[in-house]
Amino acid sequence: MIDRMKPGERLAAVLMGQKPDRVPVIPFILGFAAKIVGVPIGDLYTDPKKSFRAQLLCAEMYGYDSSPMYGYASFGAWEFGGKVGFPYEPGQSAPYVIEEPVKSEEDVDKLEVPDPKTAGSIPIMMEIARQCYAIGLPAVFQCGEVLTTAANIAGPERLLVWMKRKPELVHKLNKKIEEFFVACAEYFVSTFGADKCMAFGGGPVESNKLISPNQFGEFVYPYMLRVHRKVLEMGVQIILEHPCADQNKNLPWYRKLREECGWKGKYIWVFGPETPLENQISLFGDHDVIMGNVDPPSFQFKSFEEILLLCKDNIERGMKNPSGYILGVGCEMPPNAIPINVYAMIKASREYGSYI
């Protein structure tokens, strides 16, 4: 089929509950864009101008529907006073923690909630958001997840042991992170206006590979609920929520979150490939958009034809969501994905995702 809508129009239609010409495609591309434009992946995370340009041009070249944004899974360490490294060495693909700001129980008390205007990567996130805003794209800011951020601040093993032995320390740390995320949201909303912003949350430490659903209920849910409520109260309408990896046992909590937030706004759910689309549709389909979750590693080693079939299957199942569907991947597109496999997503949308 020939595209009858532009990327921005297509996505806007889905978010407004209307039918676009075809299924929008958001391949969750960050580091991959560096390869396309010929800059080091590290530049995507350190240079807002290069990052914005690379992401924009990559989207334009392929014709997919996402706009530039900034964020990474190791978020929090730098912002709270630690050190991160950037992916400039062979094989590296995303920022990583070099030094955690919390190394002892005493450090939790000493930890100060940073000013979002100057904290770590926030100025870079803000600059990319400014460039997006200037051309009518959403200004995206990070608002979660709290426990993944806590793990980046205190180190995952230390934090997970504290959850059993010193739970009060984890709550103390989480409270500070909650405060920081709310301050970040206020900063972006006051800069651009709530209707121009989109919040993004996600992280792997919440996954059931690591923690139980009960631990999610104790150490994640209350903080997440308060942050989301505040973000929605500020007037932000769109939250892109990425429960990373296997979070099937946490699904009731995510449903509860939406119920307790009164189903305000519109969520775009990006679960890992472990969570069947049908389960997502039954929980959120009456209100929210579901983004497809094609298996990301497959893009590195499967053939174009195989990826096309994976996308076709995802589209056929995802289009059953009454509140909208976007073809996507279950986590970040691997920077070493075979370039033609990214095009398979666009081709699949055109061939199998038509609403006309």
Partner 1 sequence: MGKKEILEGLRDATVEGDVDKVVSFAKKAIAEGIDAYEAIMEGCAAGMNIVSEKYEKGEMFVPEILCSAEAMYAAIGVLKPYLKAERVETPKKIVLGVVRGDIHDIGKNLVKIMMEAAGFQVIDLGRDVPNEQFVEAVMREQADICGMSALMTTSMIAMPEIISELKKKAPKTITMVGGGPLSEELARAYGADGYAKDAAAAVRVAKELLIKRGGA
Interface ranges with partner 1 (CB under 8 A): 31, 87, 89-94, 96-97, 156-157, 160-161, 163-165, 204, 208-212, 215, 245, 249, 296-297, 300-301, 331-332, 334-336
Q: How far is the CB of 214 from partner 1 (least distance, A)?
A: 9
Determine contact, residues 174/215, Cβ cutoff 8 Å.
Answer: no
Strands 139-142, 197-203: pairing is: parallel
| Residue number with CB closer to partner 1 (145 or 332) | 332
- Residue identified by tokens 């699949």 is 348
| Residue number with CB closer to partner 1 (159 or 311) | 159
d(CA 336, CA 345): 16
| Residue number with CB closer to partner 1 (20 or 95) | 95
Q: Is 172 exposed, middle or buried (0-12, 13-18, 19+ CB in 10 A)?
A: middle
Q: How far is the CB of 77 from partner 1 (least distance, A)?
A: 12
| Residue number with CB closer to partner 1 (17 or 167) | 167
Q: Is 243 exposed, middle or buried (0-12, 13-18, 19+ CB in 10 A)?
A: buried
Q: How far is the CB of 345 from partner 1 (least distance, A)?
A: 16
User: At a CB cut-off of 8 Å and minimum separation 6, what does 248 contact?
Assistant: 208, 274, 275, 279
| Residue number with CB closer to partner 1 (288 or 332) | 332
Q: What are phi and psi of 197, to 5 degrees?
A: -105, 155
Q: How far is the CB of 118 from partner 1 (least distance, A)?
A: 26
DSSP designation for 104: S
Q: Is 333 exposed, middle or buried (0-12, 13-18, 19+ CB in 10 A)?
A: buried
Q: How far is the CB of 263 from partner 1 (least distance, A)?
A: 30
- Residue identified by tokens 């010193």 is 166
Q: How far is the CB of 92 from partner 1 (least distance, A)?
A: 4
| Residue number with CB closer to partner 1 (46 or 237) | 46
Q: What are phi and psi of 22, to 5 degrees?
A: -150, 170
| Residue number with CB closer to partner 1 (14 or 331) | 331
Q: How far is the CB of 91 from partner 1 (least distance, A)?
A: 3
Q: How far is the CB of 29 from partner 1 (least distance, A)?
A: 13
Q: How far is the CB of 121 from partner 1 (least distance, A)?
A: 17
d(CA 224, CA 305): 40
SS3 278: helix
DSSP string, 149-210: HHHHHH-HHHHHHHHHH-HHHHHHHHHHHHHHHHHHHHHHHHHH-GGGEEEEEEESTTSTTT
| Residue number with CB closer to partner 1 (276 or 322) | 276
What is the radius of gyration, based on Cα positions, of the chain?
19
| Residue number with CB closer to partner 1 (170 or 198) | 170
